[in-house]
Amino acid sequence: MRVIAGTAKGVRLAPVPRGVRPMSDTAREGLFSSVSPQVPGARVLDLYAGTGALGIEALSRGAASAVLVERAPSALRAIRANLERTRLADRAIVVASDVARFVRKNNKSAGPFDLCLLDPPYDTADPELEPVLGELASGWIAPGGIMVLARGKRSSIPVIPLHWLVARRLEYGDTLVVVCREV
């Protein structure tokens, strides 16, 4: 894996820890091509961060800051290593937490975010994701912001909150990327 574009373009990321499924370079490139106008200067929230590749790609492309939330210790080590490799650690905050607990218990003082990236494990059930999406739609994302959800192509899509519109559906291999905007 490598950073696709921006200030850290071409930097190889640390080895992927066991049990982590990062988004492919091709899918990441397509995703960021779709949201590129919103990235420069954005405040980014990367949930289920894994290796941090999505948040790091956003930072490399000019996002002002990123909060990366992950619970697995091996993935947290990979995120920190990748932020050091890319020299982007000064604009990132790494939070060791379960995502549902993070969005439920935090007071949104870190937000609102302009771009929210969610790449949960493909086997994460809809009943687990829907409360997270509901919380995000209640003030975590800035007006005009974007929420991106990645799922396995064969996975179901959880219920998207009513005031969010699915703006794009992108497919790359076994990955489905859903880009949502507030209506």
Summarised one tens digit per residue, pLDDT across range 131-173 is 898 888 888 999 889 999 998 887 767 777 778 888 898 888 8
| 175 assigned to some structural domain | yes
Number of domains in the chain: 1
What pLDDT is recorded for position 126?
78
| 5 assigned to some structural domain | no
What pLDDT is recorded for position 107?
59
List all residues 6 or more positions away from 43 whose beta carbon is below 8 Å from its beta carbon: 63, 64, 65, 66, 111, 112, 113, 114, 115, 142
Query: How far is the C-alpha of 41 from the C-alpha of 161, rounded, in Å?
Result: 26
Distances (CA, A) of 118 to 2, 9, 11, 85, 121: 19, 22, 23, 23, 10
What pLDDT is recorded for position 164?
87
- The DSSP output letter for 156 is P
Query: How far is the C-alpha of 6 from the C-alpha of 105, rounded, in Å?
Result: 34
| 60 assigned to some structural domain | yes
Summarised one tens digit per residue, pLDDT across range 41-58 is 999 999 999 999 999 999
Q: How confident is the model at residue 75 (pLDDT cuts 50, 70, 90)?
A: very high
Question: What's the longest Cα–Cα distance across the chain?
Answer: 40
CATH number at 119 reads 3.40.50.150
- Range of the structural domain that residue 133 is part of: 25-151+165-182
Mean residue pLDDT of the chain comes to 90
Summarised one tens digit per residue, pLDDT across range 112-130 is 999 999 999 888 887 888 8
| 1 assigned to some structural domain | no
| 117 assigned to some structural domain | yes
Spatial strand order of the sheet with 65-70 comes to: 92-96, 65-70, 43-47, 113-118, 141-152, 175-182, 164-172
Reduced to 3 states (helix: H, G, I; strand: E, B; else coil), residue 126 is helix
| 169 assigned to some structural domain | yes
- For 96, the token pair is 């060791």
What pLDDT is recorded for position 68?
96
* Residue 127 C-beta-side C-alpha neighbours within 13 Å: 0
| 17 assigned to some structural domain | no
Query: How far is the C-alpha of 9 from the C-alpha of 117, rounded, in Å?
Result: 20
| 74 assigned to some structural domain | yes
List all residues 6 or more positions away from 90 whose beta carbon is below 8 Å from its beta carbon: none
Distances (CA, A) of 114 to 20, 35, 154, 174: 26, 11, 28, 27
Average pLDDT estimate for 7-13: 93
